[in-house]
Amino acid sequence: MQVKFEDLKSIEYKNAWDYQETIFKKIVDEKLAKPNLDPTKRITQNTILFCEHPHVYTLGKSGVQNNLLVNEDFLRKIDATFFKSNRGGDITYHGPGQIVGYPIVDLEKLNLTIRSYIFKLEEAIIHAIAKFDINGTRLEGAIGVWLDVDDSTKARKICAIGVKAGRMVTMHGFALNVNTDLTYYRHINPCGFTDKGVTSMEKELCYKLDFEKVKHEVKKSISEMFEIELIDG
């Protein structure tokens, strides 16, 4: 199956969110127009967006605002913004040096449940970072990609995942820390955790990575994991 791919480069969080909403609405409208059509035969504008955001904290719909540990004045000092999002999960950070991926896809067309979709998204990231000799895995009871989960004192997240789905169409997605400034995580309890760390590929490997090369591997891994052909749009 072909899926449109767009690299939005650096874009404000709200602008990317609005763009997702536009694509999401088109797909849902297409489904509602022909509700009895076999999903595999339905023509929908399935799209995957990659981007980076300026410094921003986002809180999921089930999140606790107290997990943001600073006030608005401090946010201005560090040139960061804050948004309440309609995705799942708690609070997270987005910023330069982080690959943010937003798949807006019809899960019925991919023959996936929400659970299997998130599993495949995690698996795609695990396979992609393995190309750089980083051994990612899952942490029981926590969505995302983690390192060293067998040692509770060392367990740390390298990729956050937060998804919204309506009419079995997805929004939001993942945020993989590549060359991310991790000091920004000091101002939140990431994903609501107070006892787990956050890391980046740069921190694990002790050098700054070729950002475009990592994006290429993530894009390739998503294509393989979901058995789709990504067409640049």
Distances in Å between the Cα of 64 and the Cα atoms of 88, 142, 172, 188 are 12, 16, 19, 11
Q: Is 191 among the catalytic positions? A: yes
Cα–Cα distance for residue pair 110/5, rounded to 1 Å: 16
Which of 49, 36, 37 is closest to 3 using CA atoms? 49
Token representation of residue 116: 């299997």
Task: Give the residue numbers marked as catalytic.
Answer: 191
